[in-house]
Amino acid sequence: MIERSFVMLKPDAVLRRLMGDIINRFEARGLKIVGVKMLNISRELAEEHYAEHEQKPFFNDLVEYITSGSTLAMVVEGDDCINLIRKMVGSTNPKESDIGTIRGDYALETGRNIIHASDSPKSAKREISLFFDDSEICEYKMPDEHLVYENI
Q: Does 116 bind ligand IDP (CB under 6 A)?
A: yes
Secondary structure of 44-108 in HEC code, one letter for each residue: HHHHHHCHHHCCCCCHHHHHHHHCCCEEEEEEEEEECHHHHHHHHHCCCCHHHCCECEHHHHHCC
Residue 113 is a binding residue for ligand IDP (CB under 6 A): yes
Is 62 an interacting residue with respect to ligand IDP (CB under 6 A)? yes
Report if residue 119 touches ligand IDP, rule: CB under 6 A: yes
Which lies closer to ligand IDP via its Cβ, residue 95 or residue 146?
Answer: 95
Residues of this chain that interact with Mg ion (CB under 5 A) are 119
Which residue in 94, 87, 150, 82 sits closest to 121, CA to CA?
Answer: 82
SS3 content of the chain, % helix, strand, coil (to 5): 45, 20, 30
Q: Which does 62 bind (CB under 5 to 8 A by kind): ligand IDP, Mg ion, none?
A: ligand IDP
80 binds, among Mg ion, ligand IDP, none (CB under 5 to 8 A by kind): none
Q: Is 36 helix (H, G, I), strand (E, B) or coil?
A: strand
In the residue annotation, 116 being an active-site residue is answered as yes
Residue 110 binding ligand IDP, by CB under 6 A: yes
Determine if 58 is a binding residue for ligand IDP (CB under 6 A): yes
Does 67 contact ligand IDP by CB under 6 A? Answer: no
* Distance between first and last Cα of the chain: 13
Query: Hey, which residues are catalytic here?
Result: 116
- Binding residues (CB under 6 A) for ligand IDP: these are 53, 58, 61-62, 92, 110-111, 113, 116, 119
